[in-house]
Amino acid sequence: MIYVTLTGLARHVMKELLTARVRTLEIRSPNNFFALLGVKPGDKIFLSESSTLDIVPGTSGLITSIRALEIITHRTIQSNEEYYEEREAQAARAQLQLFALGRVRKIVSFEPGLPFTVEVDEVRYCDAR
């Protein structure tokens, strides 16, 4: 199956998702944020601890289902008597539910401006490799 992929996630986040089976993540990194813009609740995505450049066939990760997705804006204001500065940053909040363990079969799309997509095989505990 071909999945949009979120990369570079912290190891403790992956472990919490494995144990709790449901976890809400706030995604701020640009490549992962833009990847989430193309999905909707009910879609399945692939998560990996590895960075985008380190994903190769055989890389393991988690296949999750998106339960909820929200785009939020953080606004920061700094000022004093001499200047006024306002910054905005967007983030995505995604509530994910564990679906299965997965292993990358091949990289499908690694194009600038497009979500990173990979073909993933679902891994069952009875599969010995």
Please write the tens of the pLDDT for every residue from 87-110: 999 999 999 999 999 999 999 999
Average pLDDT value for the chain: 92
pLDDT at 71: 94
pLDDT at 127: 57
Q: Please answer whether residues 24 and 93 qualify as being in contact, where contact means their C-beta atoms are separated by less than 8 angstroms.
A: yes
Q: Return the CATH number of 2-123, one of 2.40.37.10, 2.30.130.40, 3.40.50.720, 3.20.20.70.
A: 2.30.130.40
Give the Cα separation of 79 and 106 in Å (integer). Answer: 50
Please determine, for residue 129, whether its predicted confidence score (pLDDT) is greater than 70.
no
pTM comes to 0.87
Question: For residue 117, which phi and psi values (nearest 5 degrees)?
Answer: -125, 145
